[in-house]
Amino acid sequence: MLSILLVAFLLDVALGSVHIPLKEVIKVLFTSDSGNDTWVYIIEKIRLPKALTAIIVGCGLSVSGLQMQTLFRNPLAGPSVLGITAGASLGVALVMLSAGSITSLYTIKELGISGSWLIIVASSLGAALIMILIVSISSSLKDNVIVLIVGVMIGNITLSVISIWQYFSSPELIKDYLLWTFGSLGGVTGGQLGILAIVVFAGLLISFLSSKLLDALLLGDNYARSMGLTVKRARILIIGSTSILAGGITAFCGPIGFIGIAVPHLARALFNTSNHRILIPACCLIGTVLMLICDIVAQLPGSQTVLPINVITALVGSPVVIWIIAGPTKLRGF
Amino acid sequence: MAAQTSLLHTSGLTIGYQAGKGKTKVIAGPLDLELHAGQLICLLGPNGCGKSTLLRTIAGLQHPLNGEIILDGAALKKLKPAQVARKISLVLTDNVRSGNLDVYSLISLGRYPYSGWLGILTEQDKLIIEQAIRATHTAAFLGRKMDSLSDGECQKVMLARAMAQDTPLIILDEPTAHLDLPSRIQLMRLLHQLAKETNKAILLSTHELDLALQVADQIWLMSNGGHLDAGLPEELVLNGSFQQAFDKDGIAFDAASGTFNIHYTGKRNIKVTGEGIAAFWTKKALVRNGFNISLSDENELSVSVSGEGPDSLWTIQQNNKTTIYTSLREFLDTL
């Protein structure tokens, strides 16, 4: 698996609209020195950050999906289930669709859609707002199923607010917003990459430290409580780290679907375990590989076009999951 | 046993739940119960009388409306969940067949209250898990996934998990539900054995009255309306508590046989003579088919059963006519 990861990483850096020989790529990666300055620039400033973003996104979304599936004991749960990504989208919609604000339009035009700090701050605030709402509501609820339903409903409300906003906005603005919802790994560079890495690392650390809590929750609330788990505190911890992961990633890369739902199933099936101390690193590994492969496919090797990543994750990933879960091996994860 | 200090006792315990703002619905109480180490206690009662609520309250999953639960000398409500987890383990009716759990992982979750931050098991933990597996005869299932187990196997595994939690009190909510008769007997026997061998207190709710009467050291008999009688099984039979608790139209507890009988109101009278097993089952079949068994000679219908097993013969006297049948079904069909 690790070697597949290495190959995928190399291929992701090597392939792109500008052809760079593999040998040169490796040379640049290890010595940051090559005969061709353009190649060095392309690799160091564009491809490497993009591949690193893919890794971070793959880890973060997979682990947050795993946490949601365990917390709610529902195989269809994912990072978006609590409405946190919807909250991030609301933040972005707020900035992009409020056409009155000239500054926002200017920054977007200047810096590109996904690369703008304004967008990142707005969507972080949106995600944080929904997260605070969910955590405060959930601290008074006893049953995790009710928390799940409340989360889905809040997500729906948020999305419909966005739809109303879109309905009254001009087509150009809607197009900008739609482009953002396609997701992009390419917009995160330099300092942003550092911040995203810190945010996601913090989220992953919290979720790894709560892997024992997650194990207990596999048996449901009542059993977990009988084994000495304070369910409400565990729930807040898990929802908190999921929000940090999903919210942070959505803020920087836009909503990226599918990975969060699919990878936990792949991890359970391939590693054949229910132990979260193993599943969390497994999700990171598989999520990373899948994300890198999706990014390679998105660049349509050999062509000049780049497809939106959000389209590819589902297009590539869904058949993989169907094959693994329903195929001849029948490795059932849930 | 009176000299022995109790493992758990309740004083003035009232159980129930919140029914809307500021309102409470009392299900049962006040209850003064006592529970000792090494005892197997069966909680019996009709559906909906509050057995699960009582168990959940004692286990600390639900708050009592009033009164105190004293667990090993300390008030239950003052204990932290982690402390309670070292005293009480549970086997619930909740579904556990998800999340890709295999049997060993599930049983080892029993060590949860003792393991560290990341839940890594020590040699000591593994030893206790081994013991739990041996005590519950679950070694054969270890490699399997939970969703491949039958109901009976699943209950045993859940019991093994509770054993691994190594608590002085194990509470089981209807462990025999969904099990076939042999599995029910097997499980009850196992629980009885565990209580004696490990000196744990085991409290379980069940609908298996005849099994409970056979294995329980104590019976808590709950009736609709929240009344609870505690005592030796035989005591409760003799003082008529059983009849009261389960009194419904058409059903009667027969203190002579320790079983429940369905009242049939027969339309025709028949006299049955004969001894042995064949006669016994013939009477049962006749009652079910709407006959009153009577001993008087004035009946126009009488049957004498003779022989044993496959050689049984049914000789019928009807209106001074005698017919002999070799099978019970033939005999019943002509009637």
For residue A34, what pLDDT band results from cuts at 50, 70 and 90?
low
Convert the pLDDT of each residue in B282-314 to its tens digit. Answer: 888 887 787 877 777 776 788 888 877 777 888
Query: Which among B59, B106, B120 has CB closest to A226?
Result: B59
Closest approach of A326 to chain B, Cα-based (Å): 15
As a whole number of angstroms, the distance between CA B42 and CA B202 comes to 8
Q: Which helix (H) or strand (E) holds A261?
A: helix A259-271
As a whole number of angstroms, the distance between CA B104 and CA A34 comes to 55
- Interchain contact B115–A (C-beta under 8 A): yes
Q: Count Cβ–Cβ pairs < 8 Å, chain A vs chain B.
A: 88
Residue found by looking up tokens 């703008």 in the block: A116
The residue-averaged pLDDT of A237-242 equals 89
Name the residue ranges covered by the structural domains of chain A: 2-326
Convert the pLDDT of each residue in B224-275 to its tens digit. Answer: 888 888 999 888 888 888 777 776 656 667 776 666 666 666 677 888 888 7
pLDDT of residue B178: 83
**Percent of chain B residues past pLDDT 90, beyond the cut:** 37
For residue B133, what pLDDT band results from cuts at 50, 70 and 90?
very high
Are the beta carbons of B101 and A218 separated by less than 8 Å? yes
For residue B168, what pLDDT band results from cuts at 50, 70 and 90?
very high
Q: What is the dihedral of CA A94, A99, A104, A110, to 10 degrees?
A: 130
Are the beta carbons of B99 and A334 separated by less than 8 Å? yes
From the list A90, B146, A257, the residue with the least C-alpha distance to A249 is: A257
ipTM of predicted complex: 0.80
- Chain B residues near residue A275 by CB distance under 8 angstroms: 105
pLDDT of residue B249: 59
pLDDT of residue A59: 95
pLDDT of residue A165: 84
pLDDT of residue B2: 43
The residue-averaged pLDDT of B95-102 equals 77
Q: Sign of torsion, CA B236 B241 B247 B253?
A: positive
For residue B3, what pLDDT band results from cuts at 50, 70 and 90?
very low
Average pLDDT value for chain B: 85
| Per-residue tokens: A175 | 């197009």
Could you tell me whether strands B34-35 and B8-18 are parallel, antiparallel, or unpaired per DSSP bridges?
antiparallel
Are the beta carbons of A333 and B100 separated by less than 8 Å? yes
pLDDT of residue A26: 80
For helices A2-14 and A276-298, the axis angle rounded to 10 degrees is 30
| Per-residue tokens: A98 | 């409020």
Q: Which of A279-283, B30-34, B183-187, B242-246 has the highest mean pLDDT?
A: A279-283
For residue B1, what pLDDT band results from cuts at 50, 70 and 90?
very low
Q: Which helix (H) or strand (E) holds A85?
A: helix A84-97
| Per-residue tokens: B3 | 């000299």
For residue A321, what pLDDT band results from cuts at 50, 70 and 90?
confident
The residue-averaged pLDDT of B321-327 equals 83
Convert the pLDDT of each residue in A275-288 to its tens digit. Answer: 999 999 999 999 99
Closest approach of B148 to chain A, Cα-based (Å): 12
Q: If interface means Cβ-Cβ distance under 8 Å, which residues of chain A face chain B?
A: 70, 73, 75, 209, 211-212, 215-216, 218-220, 222-223, 225-230, 268, 272-275, 277, 332-334
Convert the pLDDT of each residue in A19-31 to its tens digit. Answer: 777 777 788 777 7
- Is B70:B8 a contact under the CB 8 Å cutoff? yes
For residue B319, what pLDDT band results from cuts at 50, 70 and 90?
confident
- Interchain contact B132–A (C-beta under 8 A): no
As a whole number of angstroms, the distance between CA A235 and CA A134 comes to 11
N- to C-terminal Cα distance for chain B?
A: 57
Coil, strand or helix: which one is B304? strand
For residue A82, what pLDDT band results from cuts at 50, 70 and 90?
confident
For residue A302, what pLDDT band results from cuts at 50, 70 and 90?
low
* Whether domain A2-326 has CATH 3.30.70.20: no
pLDDT of residue A304: 72
What contacts A317, CB < 8 A, 6 or more positions away? Answer: A258, A259, A262, A290, A294
- Is A177:A92 a contact under the CB 8 Å cutoff? yes
pLDDT of residue A101: 54
pLDDT at B76 exceeding the cut of 80: yes
Farthest CA pair distance, chain A: 65
User: Which domains occur in chain B, in start order?
Assistant: 8-87+167-259 (3.40.50.300), 102-162 (no CATH), 268-334 (no CATH)
Which strands, in side-by-side order, build the sheet including B218-223?
Answer: B88-91, B169-173, B201-205, B40-44, B218-223, B227-231
pLDDT of residue B55: 94
